[in-house]
Structure 1
Amino acid sequence: MSEYSENGVLKRGEHRLTQHTFLFQPKISEVMKNINKVMIGKEDAALLSLVALLARGHVLLEDVPGVGKTMLVKTLAKSLDCDFKRIQFTPDLLPSDVTGVSIYNPKTLEFEFRPGPILGNIVLADEINRTSPKTQSALLEGMEETSLTVDGNTVSLSDPFFVMATQNPIEYEGTYPLPEAQLDRFLIKMKMGYPTAKQEMEMLSKTSGKHPIHEITSVLTRDELVDLQKEVEDVYVDRTINHYIVELVTGTRNHQGVYLGVSPRGSIALMKAAKAYAFIHDRDYVVPDDVQYMAPFVLCHRMILTSEAKFEGTTPESVVQELLSTTSIPVQRNISE
């Protein structure tokens, strides 16, 4: 038997992490340090980005201009020895500008596929809500299927494949907001927020000369990243934790202020995010605290509130916090092996 203490921390149980994994844990810390050198006071954003990357998910960053959304992605990409691509979404961007296009070669008398930027490992989709739904769908197909359909042919995407999309919430003219069904493709949705006065002072000091991003070097290779993603898949999730996740998700569907609750895809996403979060914290098992921390970032953008709830000032965040406070927390797990 292995037990959780009252605060959800495992007291006794098997440890499944391999020696191979322990060799990589310092490198995860180095990636975090790299991001924190550039992004002052954004430890949570760095952690969540790494959670999504290790869980083979994608991130939607929604915040006002100038808070460092693009810089976060660039720093993460520089920390990894992976192919980085950037797509600047504009109203006239075509799907072929994202996926690539087949061009006729008169010398070989054959069509040759010229890959688009989506075939990179780390893809920055900047201002995703500025392009048409047709072009957005080209990106979101790849995010969901890890493959593309180009001229009737299926093209597999690179491994690893990670998309971090940004959007500006305050400008609505000339934008195409992502439908809820497409928002569901993102594992995590988060905001950066303004820095404190002290953090902004430190930021000014660090950027007065050479920008710290130029000093960032890669600390994790592509193959090492793929190995880590496979290790995350092996993180143990007890049946009681799965039941806890299902109760939280079911609660969104039964809440009187929610018109459309979280789908089963959201349950899977929360489980994967909790596994990656546990792995980053040197554990090979998920505890309730992992689920509680990740729930707001995984569930909120998957809900649609009723008009009445919005009028009363209810937000998806308040719904999730209510469910976290009212849903019973598992305090024990049994292993029979």
Structure 2
Amino acid sequence: MDGWLLNLVLQYGSVEDSIASWTLINLLYSSNKKLQVAASDFWNSVLSPSEADKLLVDIGHFPSYSVLKSAVLSYGYLCDDNHAKVSTSESVIADDGPPQNIIAWLKVVSACCKIRNVHSIFSSSEAEELLDIVISFFLDRRLEGLLLILENSLNSLILYFNTSEWESSCLTVAQSIAQRVAMDLNCLRIVDCITGTNYRIKFLRSQLALQFLKISFGLKVANVEKILKSVTTINVKDKECNFFSLYVYIVLMNNLLFSSDAFRDKHAIINSWRNFLRICSTQIGCTDWRLYASKVRNKASYFLQGAILKSYAGSASISVQ
């Protein structure tokens, strides 16, 4: 298209539905890299609001959730109809690189989110499922070279929700992800991918940690005190101690307590946690060669020193459910 179509549309002042549909199909499915990039640039431009917070052209055919989800399916990802659960199929794993059109997909999702004040393209539930999908993409190692684009799409989706919607939608997404991602290093990768210092980012990170711990300990209600007791009563001197699970618990618990300010004034909880970190850092010997024993000791010592506690300080709050 080389920009001529965009110039024509800008001069005309509107985008016909047939043109919008054709360019979107090329963006999502074209194997022609040049055409795919041109279509992506076209949509980024027509979805960019003016200084007056209005679209530059009249448009009636927007990228819908159903169209975007169908594209994800065509890329080889598997989506559950209820929760947009995303995993990677065996055929996709066998490929060398990421799906060909995934960058364009992420960019158009970001563009759609940024015009909510002008036009609300997705419902809250649809935005929740898209956020679920994008977070799941962080587990696909083929997309590791796209971290900046993934983070931009993630942040755009997080900011898409109204203030009144965010906490309940965040909880829905966190529960969905925690129900399907195993309590192994993948759950830590999910939490680690939520980076940033604003309230919503911190709230999402803490909710993810909370929901992972809730499911791991078989709780129907996410009670922080019960979770803390379950973790801190683990005996590190027990010969049967599972240090791998303890390592995961320590990282998640620290994210839960210090991703936000919710527990800043909960001195009993904080002191109990720091005492347990001290136990882990001092009572696991340097000659203990059990799997993950040294990692637990080093991580506990690191947290105890306050480096992570200070970096996680913020003004977010967490609703315990």
Which one scores higher on RCO, CA 8 angstroms, separation ≥ 6?
1
More helix by share: 2
Asked whether the two chains share a fold, i.e. TM above 0.5, the reply is: no
More strand by share: 1
TM-score normalised by structure 1 residue count: 0.24
Q: Say which one has the larger Rg.
A: 2
TM-score normalised by structure 2 residue count: 0.25
